[in-house]
Structure 1
Amino acid sequence: MTLPLLAVLMLLNGCAEKEKFIVYGSPQNEGEVEALIKEEDFVDRTTVIQYDDSMLVAVQIKPWDKWKKAKLEKKLQKKFDKKYPNKDVFVSADYKIFYEANKIKKDQIEDNKLSDKITELIKLAKEET
């Protein structure tokens, strides 16, 4: 009797909705950024870190679209560059960058260290490509 109940509970827990869109830093244009990303159906999860006049957009691409990850990343980069010409926007679909961006949010890094950490992440992402 307990085994089927346990199986159902585990199944329901696995289907729980995870946060799909996270913004950390200044929330000045959070709604616009979220709407811009939700227009793209290939994006599964997103973490956006805004600081000063810069923005790091780390996305996870849906599994069926992973084979064209670089093309989709460029498409999203162009879209953000067009929407925010006065901001320095960096878009990455690399899982390592996504993981580190979530780690920054979780650790609640202070503003004075945030810029250095983001610069380090961007440098890492450009190195890998």
Structure 2
Amino acid sequence: MKKLQTVLLLLLSISIISGCTDKEKFIVYGSPQNEEELKAVLKEEDYVEKTTVIQHDDKMLVTVQIKPWDKWKKAKLEKKLQKKFDELYPDKEVFVSADYKIYYEANKVKKDGLEDEEISDKIKELKKLAKEEA
């Protein structure tokens, strides 16, 4: 009986731990036209910890969280990603931000379930907010 309790406790602990670490690292919200390509590009960059991408028509907002060790060169990495996305999507208006507040607000867009027009307005608002903080 004691062994059964120990095994059950161990299994419960493992399931809780694995459930906590299974969060999405790459979230693409809006038009899903190039979702896999975006995920592949972001996974190539080893300094990116988590990201949220919001797409609507010809606008794209890419927010990233940089791994702690690389945070001191956040601006340089942000520019590198911006250049990469500008080359990949010359027909889109892409904005890349490594600011946590912008990342947080972008994740709220997904939770709030905004509609198309509201998504476009939110992208403009977040870009303006990011430029004010810079």
Fold equivalence (TM over 0.5): yes
Equivalent position of 1:72 in the other structure: 77
5 Å matches for 1:63-102?
63-102=68-107
Equivalent position of 1:32 in the other structure: 37
Bigger radius of gyration: 2
- How far did residue 46 of structure 1 move? 0.6
The one-letter code sitting in structure 2 at the alignment partner of 1:68 is K
The one-letter code sitting in structure 2 at the alignment partner of 1:75 is K
What CA distance in whole angstroms lies between the structure 2 residues aligned with 1:112 and 1:14? 35
Q: Deviations over 1:26-45 (max 9, x none)?
A: 00011111111111000000
What CA distance in whole angstroms lies between the structure 1 residues aligned with 2:27 and 2:127? 18
TM-score (norm. length: structure 1): 0.90
The one-letter code sitting in structure 1 at the alignment partner of 2:124 is T
The one-letter code sitting in structure 1 at the alignment partner of 2:94 is V
Equivalent position of 2:117 in the other structure: 112
What CA distance in whole angstroms lies between the structure 2 residues aligned with 1:32 and 1:14? 27
4+ residue segments displaced more than 3 Å? none
The 1:120/1:28 distance shift into structure 2, 3 A limit, reads same
What CA distance in whole angstroms lies between the structure 1 residues aligned with 2:96 and 2:133? 14
What fraction of aligned residue pairs are identical, expressed as a percent? 72
- The answer for unaligned runs of 5 or more in structure 2 is none
- What value does the CA root-mean-square deviation take over the aligned residues? 1.9
The one-letter code sitting in structure 2 at the alignment partner of 1:110 is E
Residue 121 of structure 2 is aligned to residue 125 of structure 1: no
Q: Deviations over 1:50-71 (max 9, x none)?
A: 0010100000001110111000
